[in-house]
Structure 1
Amino acid sequence: MHTVELLPDDELDSRVREMWGLLGERGLASHPHPTNRPHLTVVTAPSLDGLPELALPIEVEIGPPRMLGRALVLPVTPNAALRDMHELVWSSLAEAWPPAAEWVPHISLALRFPEGDHTAREMSGPATGTLTKARSYDSVTRTVRDL
């Protein structure tokens, strides 16, 4: 599978990495692979054939840390530009997932966050940010490439 990921500007990237560091100090790190970096996943698909050009940058609003299933995330408000990009990418790639009704834009902080842990209450995330670049992660080869 291949992802289409949007990457934050340097300031937002740094803030997320600080939050990862705080979680790591508490034994809650979950981003060990060297290719991982702060990102927002737009879709996953078996192939990127047909991927259109992506209109970046996109300014976004970011909510405080919250749980999404078992993951601790920074929710990203799906403004018109972000929704339009998702729709364009999703409709251009065969078997892309998720569809608009199931997409929850976010930046992951910890993937298997312990239930009942209150670390998130002590963390304050950025309120805004800019998504400036795009890349793809290949889950088979575990490699990334710029888009």
Structure 2
Amino acid sequence: MRTVELLCSPGLEEAVRAAWDRLAAAGLPSLARNVHPTNRPHLTLAAVEAFPPGAEERIAALCAAVLPLPVRLDRIEVLDGSAPLVWLVRPGPELVALHAAVWDVLGGHERGNPWHRPGRWVPHLSLALRFRDADRRLARAVAGVDRPGGEFVAARSYDGESRTVALLSGPASAYRATGPERR
């Protein structure tokens, strides 16, 4: 699997990490417990089996042309009733256009994750991967104390086979995880 992901500005990343920490402190599922070095708040634009030839360079150019993009987070939801706990992203027209352009480059890849395809995409930042809808109210009270804003400042790609990430666009400083634990 290969992804196209947008990375958060330092302030927005810290706000999401703080929500992860509050969830964990309340005994709820949280991405704070994922210690893999690639784990950090991000918005996934696409997840596909593999990139077609030349796609990485074209996607990098698309992202470079629009980043940084302003973003505001919205409400906290559980997708599909018993799956990820997410902080929804209010998608502006530039973000919607970037998402569509990335999928155009990928050629409407049929074997990708359907949650990320145009028409089904729900832009979000994940807070926990496995979450019961019954705990949503508590999660909102614990994690969603405000609706922070910031920017998406860089783009990366995750390679599921090697479990590594590569910077696609943006300053190298934005690519490094922020926060004292460098999750």
Question: Normalization by structure 1: what TM-score?
Answer: 0.91
User: Alignment partner for residue 86 of structure 1, among 74, 79, 99?
Assistant: 99
Deviations 1:47-75 (A, max 9, x none): 16324211201101210222212211110
CA contact (8 A) 2:23 2:142 kept: no
Distance 1:125 1:36 in 2: 23
Provide the residue aligned with 1:122 in structure 2.
Answer: 142
Distance 2:17 2:73 in 1: 15
1:64 aligns with 2:67: no
User: 1:29: how far off?
Assistant: 2.3
Distance 1:38 1:114 in 2: 21
* Structure 1 unaligned residues grouped into runs of 5+: none
Distance 2:87 2:28 in 1: 19
CA contact (8 A) 2:9 2:150 kept: yes
User: 1:27: how far off?
Assistant: 4.4
Tell me the amino acid that sits aligned with residue 28 of structure 1: P
User: Alignment partner for residue 102 of structure 1, among 96, 106, 120?
Assistant: 120
Distance 1:18 1:78 in 2: 22
1:2 aligns with 2:20: no
CA contact (8 A) 2:45 2:99 kept: yes
* Structure 2 unaligned residues grouped into runs of 5+: 169-183
CA contact (8 A) 1:74 1:125 kept: no
CA contact (8 A) 1:64 1:125 kept: no
Distance 2:51 2:28 in 1: 36
1:40 aligns with 2:43: yes
Provide the residue aligned with 2:18 in structure 1.
Answer: 18
1:74 aligns with 2:77: no
Provide the residue aligned with 2:152 in structure 1.
Answer: 131
Provide the residue aligned with 1:50 in structure 2.
Answer: 55
Secondary structure of 2:133's aligned partner: coil
CA contact (8 A) 1:8 1:130 kept: yes
Deviations 1:71-125 (A, max 9, x none): 1111011210001100111000141743310111000001111331223223324
Greater helix share, structure number: 2
Runs of 4+ in 1 over 3 A off after TM superposition: none
